[in-house]
Amino acid sequence: MFRKVLIANRGEIAVRVIRACKELGMRTVAVHSQCDVDALHVRLADEAVCIGPNSASRSYLHIPALVAAAEITGADAIHPGYGFLSESAAFAEVCRRCQITFIGPTPEAMRAWGDKVSARAQARRFGIPLLPGTDTLAHLSDALGAARELGFPLMLKASGGGGGRGLKIVRDEAALVRAFDSARAEAQAGFGNPELFLERFIERPRHIELQVIADHHGHVSCVGERECSIQRRHQKLLEESSPGLLSGAAHGRLIEVAVEALRETGYRSLGTLEFIVDEQGAAYFLEMNTRVQVEHPVTEMVTGLDLVAEQILVAAGGRLTIPVKPMAPRGHAIECRVNAEDPVTFAPSPGRITEYHPPGGTGVRVDGGVYGGCVVPPHYDSLLAKVIVHAATRPQAIARMRRALDEFIVEGVRTNLLLHRRIIEHPAFASGPMSTRFLEETVLRDPSPRVNLDAAAARPLR
């Protein structure tokens, strides 16, 4: 086991990893920028090191500072969380050269599965269904030629990207010409990799994930499915988990092929395979995230597993505690991401939180990274906390989430809590299933919402 783990991240995921480490008997090191000196993850860790100024490029993304912090404090492992350097093969390689364990996949596995074009090649090799698409496109002329063969509409995507950054929907050649250079620039700025590829665009798909984990002893397990279709600009807002999200005769075969692909390619860690599901129920591989996901708690709630603890144990060379045939998920779980942003314009709302009261009670969990009196800085992602509920059935989970959102008090900054209430209370949400266009086409266009977002946005902050 590790003696001391440095968490190369901030916010709620840093707090989540600290808690898992402490339960495993490991000491923890928090790193922080200058503006995060009083952040919750800094207060909860056993030690803390300032790694630079507020800019992420000079602090949380600065590999020399992170490695130096680990060496100075004697940390023998680094957990990258999600975002920042969590899928950086270069960072994992530096950790290996410095004899510090990177809690995640090997650099080789990250390159094979984290890069979207490479991941498509792996999926094709093992027979995982794929949407029609291309390999890396070096020039606009290559993209135009491929588009004529594939047919519109198409997605122009960043090979090394994620979270919707660098992604453009193009419906004709003129749109492709306009989007190509800006997508390359976005990809370079966001991921240090300007490479792009094209993929067939499905207008109203569902977005389904498979949570997998593998150890160093040949044990690979798929431990659940997640529904992540409620999104805004390709950013997830609300996720669910329960049995049977993927159905049909091909469902079991899809999981078998995915597990075999990870075993054969030597994948060792947590990972998530993401799929687009069309209106006929056919699932197509989208990408793989080679890290812990923001939405992992809904899987934990229906399985009883601690996925972060399992990830740490695997990195230490241990065997998974999960049975070869995992237990069937129990009940239904929903997660809402609570962001510091205006509920109408979605503009970030940094500032000091003057009052903070998270919900509680039976079946309610809150993973947060803030507290009353702390400052939400303008330099990073606006996620404050995640509200997760679990109940025996989906209707019961919806009722529990409605109650939890009503209890959640955050003052001093604007949040999207009322937007979540509007989603949860919408009749179309209860009837399901939803597509990735649900928010824009159903919730935001409803002329008579039960929750008035405009009034909420106009309310003075206290």
Domains of the chain in sequence order? 4-103 (3.40.50.20), 132-200 (3.30.1490.20), 206-458 (3.30.470.20)
φ, ψ dihedrals at 343, nearest 5°: -70, -15
- The answer to which of 224-233, 397-406, 439-448 has the lowest mean pLDDT is 439-448
The reported pLDDT for the residue numbered 326 is 62
Peptide bond into 433 cis (omega under 30): yes
Give the pLDDT band (50/70/90) at residue 454.
Answer: confident
Give the pLDDT band (50/70/90) at residue 160.
Answer: confident
Q: Do residues 354 and 372 make contact, with C-beta atoms less than 8 angstroms apart?
A: yes
Q: Can you tell me the distance from the alpha carbon of 232 to that of 239, in angstroms, rounded to the nearest whole number?
A: 13
The reported pLDDT for the residue numbered 324 is 65
The reported pLDDT for the residue numbered 189 is 79
The reported pLDDT for the residue numbered 247 is 67
Give the pLDDT band (50/70/90) at residue 377.
Answer: very high
Over residues 423-432, mean pLDDT: 93
pLDDT in tens, 387-418: 999 999 999 999 999 999 999 999 999 999 99
The reported pLDDT for the residue numbered 314 is 97
Give the pLDDT band (50/70/90) at residue 361.
Answer: very high
1: number of Cβ within 10 Å: 12
Does 329 have pLDDT greater than 90? no
Q: Is 245 helix (H, G, I), strand (E, B) or coil?
A: coil
Residues carrying an active site annotation:
291
Q: Do residues 145 and 135 make contact, with C-beta atoms less than 8 angstroms apart?
A: no
Give the pLDDT band (50/70/90) at residue 245.
Answer: confident
Does 249 have pLDDT greater than 60? no
Does 283 have pLDDT greater than 60? yes
Does 246 have pLDDT greater than 90? no
Over residues 220-237, mean pLDDT: 93
Over residues 116-138, mean pLDDT: 92
Residues 6+ apart with CB under 8 A from 147: 154, 170, 173, 176, 198
Residues 6+ apart with CB under 8 A from 460: none
Mean pLDDT of the chain: 93
To the nearest 10°, report the CA torsion of 411, 374, 27, 223: 30
Give the pLDDT band (50/70/90) at residue 450.
Answer: low
